[in-house]
Structure 1
């Protein structure tokens, strides 16, 4: 049997690595203040970037940027005051997805991105319906025995330098993409994940919009 990257379904899929930065107001769900996405396809034995997107997002008045946001990411209230609205920023992202392509979103701790997409689904109805892959369970399968599976730990394991702007969405997307592609290389080399269906069983998360009541993991 061939490797994961020989699988026709894998090759037919565009993997969109996505990351949000958010603020979490008391009594409300997290509100996005930045989003970035990086689209990858596996073609002719290598990864090819086929698109990227990044935007600040102006939070609602009840959820202003906080001192924690500034300390964490460097984003200030001044940065966010003139940012696009959620409808503008997420609508622009949504229009990047085409009806004739097959997508999976990829995220580190994908539950966070799945929740933000669900809560913003009126602004990004296409993206909110795309299922996800989570790098954490995939890393647990491919590199067992790490002390934890935080992004910084995985970057250290693969000797990927921390970006200077760590915790900005575009920077985190870039390094998450590098972790994801290294995990796929491991899966190819070891043969432990043989096709897209198995990859989804290991690391898949159904989009909350399309999730059945029991919340079971989708299968292809």
Structure 2
């Protein structure tokens, strides 16, 4: 039986937290007993910096959207409270989890992140003959309807969750041990 899972996604000001890029949105849903719970977590995050033009073109989040949003030191503990008692899952978890690791520094080091699994790694393990494993490719593979707000955190979380459910079914993954083996639980980022 699978334990509770928290599927999450972030949107950012850029691709590299080591270059000062920050989180601008976090969203998550919980999957328990094979069902998506009604409650979800979604919030803008004030990155305390400008959002570059190229990031705005992808996620459609503007400086105006985040100017009155809470900062990460308030949001990250709330997100972890939502995820409490579960395992995190993200698509391309190295990116998302790496940003969470980097953003911990703004929480005075009092934040511990739970382990994280990756749906991209799971896809690579279940479909080794396939060359690409992006979320867009998984949507096509599983005939998932892509919403108009694709590349916003909650829309991507819901797509990732649907793809995860399809992969759990097709891979006949019923135990947490099997999921960990196939989804590549690792220390995904350097701790600060």
User: Is the TM value for this pair above 0.5?
Assistant: yes
Among candidates 114, 120, 129, match of residue 97 of structure 2: 114
Contact 2:147–2:155 (CA under 8 A) maintained in structure 1: yes
Provide, for residues 16-36 of structure 1, a one-character-per-residue CA deviation record: whole Å limited to 9, x for no partner. 001010113796243101100
Matches within 5 A, 1:132-151: 132-151=116-135
Provide, for residues 162-216 of structure 1, a one-character-per-residue CA deviation record: whole Å limited to 9, x for no partner. 111000001100100000011001122xxxx4632122122133345898xxxxx
Distance 1:129 1:92, change over 3 A: closer
Matches within 5 A, 1:131-210: 131-188=115-172, 193=173, 195-207=175-187
Among candidates 88, 91, 94, match of residue 74 of structure 2: 88
Give ranges in structure 2 of 5+ residues lacking alignment: none
Provide, for residues 28-86 of structure 1, a one-character-per-residue CA deviation record: whole Å limited to 9, x for no partner. 243101100111111xxx4241631000011123xx10111221111111112122111
Contact 2:7–2:88 (CA under 8 A) maintained in structure 1: yes
> What residue number does 1:218 align with?
none
Contact 2:80–2:113 (CA under 8 A) maintained in structure 1: no
Is 1:58 matched with 2:41? no
TM-score (norm 2): 0.87
Matches within 5 A, 1:92-103: 92-98=78-84, 101=85, 103=86
Distance 1:125 1:27, change over 3 A: closer
For 2:167 and 2:82, how far apart are their aligned partners in 1?
26
RMSD: 2.4
For 2:5 and 2:151, how far apart are their aligned partners in 1?
21
Distance 1:207 1:26, change over 3 A: closer
Contact 1:129–1:207 (CA under 8 A) maintained in structure 2: no
Provide, for residues 84-118 of structure 1, a one-character-per-residue CA deviation record: whole Å limited to 9, x for no partner. 111122232122244xx3x1111111101111111
